[in-house]
Chain A
Amino acid sequence: MAAPSSSRFVLSPITRRRLANFRANKRGYWSLWIFLALFVFSLFAEVIANDKPLIIRYRGETYFPILKTYPETTFGGALLTEADYSGPVIRGEIEANGWALYPLIPFGLRSVDFWSWEPLPSPPSARHWLGTDDQGRDVLARLIYGFRISVLFGLALTLVSSVIGIAAGALQGYFGGLFDLVFQRVIEVWQGIPRLYVLIIFASFVEPSFWWLLIILLFFHWMSLVSVVRAEFLRARNLDYARAALALGASDLTIMVRHLLPNAMVAALTFLPFVLNSSITALTSLDFLGFGLPPGSASLGEVLAQGKANLQAPWLGISGFVVLAAMLSLLIFIGEAVRDAFDPRKALA
C-alpha cells in the first residue's frame, strides 16, 4: 500500500484493514477489476461499436460524425438525410477524397447490415465476430450496449431500493411494537401481489422506458432488504451497547445510524450482490418476455429471446448466456469480498 502523501488522505487503520481484507479475497479482488474494466469499456460503447466513423478527413476538412450529424450532401450524396457511412456510395466517396477512422466494431446498436450476403441470422465471421441476429444487427455490438444498460439499471434499482428498504427495516426494528406489526402485515400483503402480472398490466398503459421500468420495479424491489435489516435492529436494540448509548444521552437517530446501522450493514451487504443480481435479472426477464425496454433497444433479455426464437443459430443464445452468467458471477464474487472486508472477526493476516 502506498504511503499516503497528504495528511488529508490518511486512511484510518480501520479503513486500511478493511481494504486489506478485501484484497485478501483474491477472487473478489480480481472480479472487481475485471468488472470495472468491462463496465468502463461499455460506458464508451459509442466509440467502440458504431456504424459511424470516429473521424473523417474529406476534401481537406475534418468531421466528427459521432458528435455531429452530417447530411449525405456533405460527402457528395444526393439526400439531405443523415449520411449512411456503411453504404458503398459514401464510403467510396470518402476513401477517394480523404480517409475515415472506423470504430473497432463498425456496427452500432440498431444498425442493420444491409450489405451482407449471408442469410440472417448469420453465423460468426470476420465481419461479425459473434454473428448477427435475425434482423441483421451485430450481436457483439448489441451485447456491449446491453451489458451497459443492464449494469446501470441494476445499480440504480439496487441503490434506490436499498435506501428505502434499509430505512424501512431500521424504523420497524428500532421502534418495534404496533408500528412494526402493522408494517409487517402491509409488506406481507404487498409481497403476495404477483409482480409479473402487475408489470405486464403496467406495461400495457405506459410507454416502457428506462425510468418507468425503474419506478415500476422499485414498487416490488424495495422489500428485499427490509426483513434482514429489521431482524438486525430488533436484536441489536436490546443489546448492552445500544443501552450504553442511551445512557450516554444519544438520540434515537444517533443510536440507529452510529450503532445499529453498521452492524445491520453486514447482513445487508451480504444480500446486496443478490439484490443487484435480481435487479439485473428482473430487467432481463421483462426484456425476454417483450415487456421491457422499448423495441429496438439493446438488452441481454432481447438477445436471449432471439436465441430462443432462432434455435438454429446457437451463437445468439450462447453469447447472451455467457455474458449474463459472467456478469452475475463477477458480482457475486465481489459481494463476497465486500462482506469479508466488513467482517470485524475475520482473521487478520
Chain B
Amino acid sequence: MTDVPLLEVKDLSIGFRGSDGAREVVNKVSFTIAEGETLALVGESGSGKSITALSIMQLLQAPPAYYPSGSIRYAGREILGAPDAEMQKIRGGDIAMVFQEPMTSLNPLHTVERQISESLILHRGMSREAARARSLDLLEKVGLQNAESRLGAYPHQLSGGQRQRVIIAMALANEPTLLIADEPTTALDVTIQAQILALLKDLQAEMGMALMLITHDLGVVRKMSERLCVMKDGEIVEAGGTDAVFDAPAHPYTKMLIESEPKGTKDPIAMDRPTVLRADDLKVWFPIKAGVLRRTVGHIKAVDGISISVREGETLGIVGESGSGKTTLGMALLRLQSSEGAIAFRAQDISGLGRRAMRPLRREMQVVFQDPFSSLSPRMSVGQIVEEGLLIHGFGGGAADRAGLVEGVLQEVGLDPEARHRFPHEFSGGQRQRVSIARALVLKPSLVVLDEPTSALDMTVQAQIVDLLRALQTSHGLTYLFISHDLKVVRALADDILVMRDGRVMEYGPCDRIFERPETDYTRALMTAAFDLEVAAADVVNQ
C-alpha cells in the first residue's frame, strides 16, 4: 500500500446559490479513506453528509452548487472540477454509489438484467451475452435467491431487500475500489438490514474495496466501520476510531447522539387496574377478487385471529416487520377498519357500533400517526388542528375556554403556545409530531394508539418524543398501543409485547420475558437483527 490514501477530502466547503443569496451547507470538511477501509459519516438529517457524498461523485448540479474551498483527491488525482468525460470514467468505474431508497433507485421499466448490464456494456464494451453472464455472476455474489430466474424480473416484482441487492450488484458491476453507501439500510426491515450489512461486509472483504458508509444509525456504525466522522451542521465535530469514539466521546454532540439511544424500561403498573381494551379473535380479511364476475377467490389475511387485552396505564407494544399487519390491527381496534371479532372498550362491546354510535367514544380513543408530514392538514393552522376535536365533541365550552385548552396542551407537549397561528409546514418533523400528540391529547383520551410515532424522526428528536410520551403517560394515566418496528424504542416503553408476522401472533407476553427469553425462532431472529445486527442462523426470515 502506498502513502497516498485512496480518497482524500481536504477543507471541502459546499454552498448553494439561491434567489435569496448564497448559503454554505458544508464547511471545511476533511477526511481520508485508505484502501479496503470502512469510514462512517454519521449525522442527523440536514447535517450535510449526503451532500458531501454527492460532491465526491460530482453529482451535485453546479450551479446552484459551488465549492468555495477544498479539494477531493482520488488516488492522488484531483477530481473536484474534473471534466465530465473524466468523471464519467470514475463514476461507476472506480467509485460506485448505493442510494437509500430501493423503490426509486431502479428504473421501473427495465428488467434486472438490463439495469446491471447497461453499465457493463457502457464502461467495458461487453457484448450482451458476456454482460448477461456477468450480471448473473454478480446477482449470485450479492446472494439473490434464484438469481437466474430473476434476470427477467422487473423491480416491482422484487421485495425491498431484493431490490437493494440488485442495486448493490449494479454498483459492484465494474469492481469499484470505493463504494459509497448512502443510508443503504434505512428503508429496510431490521432482518433485511442485518442481511444487507452482512453482505456488504463479505463483499468488502472479498473484493478489497473501501467503503464509505453514510448513516444516522449508530448501531450500524459500530457494527461496520473502523473509523467514523460525526457531522453536525455541515462540520465534522469529531473523528476517530469507532471504538475510541464510542468509549470516550469528546464532543458534546457525539455524547448526546450516543445517549439518545432509547434506554430504561417502563415501571410495571398495579395488577388491579381495569381492562381498557380487549379484543377476541380479531380478523381483518381483504377479499381477492378475480374474473369477470369479481368473485372472491381468496383472502389476504392482514389480521388473522388476534386476541389482546390492555389494562389502564399499560403500554402494549405491537412489533413486526413491514406488511405484518400491525397498523391494520391498530386501525381495526379503533374501528377505523372493518373487522370481525369482538372488541371491548371499557367493558362495552364496540365491534358492532356504527359510526354515529362510535362518535362519543372517539374522544376517549385517539391516534398518532407515523408520518408527521401527512398527518396534519396542510391548510389548517396548528390551533385549528388541535381545536378541531374539541369542536366535534362540543368539549371545552366556549371559544375562550377552547383557546385556553389548546394553549395548555401545546405547552404540555413542549411547544410555544404562539405556534397555534402557524401552519404545519413551518415546523420540523419532531415539532409536527408534538402537534399530532397535542391533537390527540387535548380531548383527554384514555387510550392512544401510537402508529410508529418515532420512525420518521432523527435519533435525538426520537429520544425527546419517547421521553414526552413517557411523561404524558404518567401524568394522565394513559393507555398506549405502541405500534413500531423499532425494538429498541418498544423495549423502553412497553409493558407487554405482541410480535406479529403475516397477520398472526408469533409471541405475546410481558416485555422483559420476550426480550430475555424469546420462545420462537422468528422473535429470536428479530432480536438478533435489531440489537446485534446479525443474521439469524436458522433460515426463518425472508429475503
Contacts and interface: CB of A to CB of B under 8 A. Distances in A.
Interface in A218-256: 239-241, 243-251, 254
Interface in A240-298: 240-241, 243-251, 254, 258-259, 262-263, 266
Given A249-B363, A250-B388, A13 B376 contact: no
A145 B410 CA distance: 57
A248 B388 contact: yes
A12 interface: yes
B308 interface: no
B363 A263 contact: no
Contact of B423 (A246, A259, A344): A344
Interface in B358-397: 358-360, 362-363, 365-367, 369-371, 374-381, 388-389, 392-393
B22 interface: no
A14 interface: yes
Contact of B378 (A13, A14, A250, A344): A344
B457 to A, nearest CB: 15
B367 A13 contact: no
Interface in A300-349: 342, 344-345, 347
A248 B389 contact: yes
Given A12-B421, A240-B369, A259 B392 contact: no
Nearest to A247: B367
Contacts of B49: none
Given A240-B369, A259-B380, A13 B389 contact: no
A251 B363 CA distance: 14
Contact of A250 (B367, B380, B392, B421): B392
A344 B375 contact: no
B425 interface: yes
Interface residues of A, number: 25
Interface residues of B, number: 35
Contacts of A247: 334, 336, 362, 365-367
Contact of B359 (A13, A249, A263, A266): A249
Contacts of B443: 248
A68 B60 CA distance: 76
Interface string B345-367: 00000000001001110110111
B388 A243 contact: no
B377 A249 contact: no
Contacts of A266: 379
A52 to B, nearest CB: 52
Given A12-B421, A249-B363, A250-B388, A259 B377 contact: yes
Given A247-B334, A248-B392, A262 B379 contact: yes
B232 interface: no
A221 to B, nearest CB: 27
Contacts of A263: 377-379
B439 interface: yes
B374 A241 contact: yes
Interface string A3-24: 0000000001110000000000
B50 to A, nearest CB: 22
Contacts of A258: 377, 380, 388
A262 B421 contact: no
Interface in A44-90: none
Contacts of A239: 374-375
Interface in A26-60: none
A239 to B, nearest CB: 5
Nearest to A241: B377
Interface in B74-114: none
A13 B369 contact: no
Contacts of A251: 355
B425 to A, nearest CB: 6
B370 to A, nearest CB: 8
Which residue among B20, B362, B375, B377 has the maximum number of chain A CB atoms within 10 Å of its CB?
A: B377
Contact of A240 (B360, B375, B380, B388): B375
Nearest to A13: B421
A254 B392 contact: yes
A245 B336 CA distance: 11
Which residue among A239, A244, A246 has the maximum number of chain B CB atoms within 10 Å of its CB?
A: A244
11 contacts: A14-B381, A14-B421, A241-B375, A243-B336, A246-B336, A247-B366, A248-B392, A249-B362, A263-B379, A342-B379, A344-B425
Interface of B: 20, 331, 334, 336, 355, 358-360, 362-363, 365-367, 369-371, 374-381, 388-389, 392-393, 421-423, 425, 436, 439, 443
Given A239-B374, A244-B367, A248-B362, 16 more contacts: A12-B381, A13-B381, A14-B421, A240-B370, A241-B376, A241-B377, A243-B367, A244-B436, A244-B439, A246-B336, A247-B362, A248-B388, A250-B392, A254-B392, A258-B380, A344-B423
10 residue pairs, one from A and one from B, having the closest CB atoms: A249-B362, A240-B375, A262-B379, A240-B369, A249-B359, A241-B377, A13-B421, A248-B389, A247-B367, A240-B374
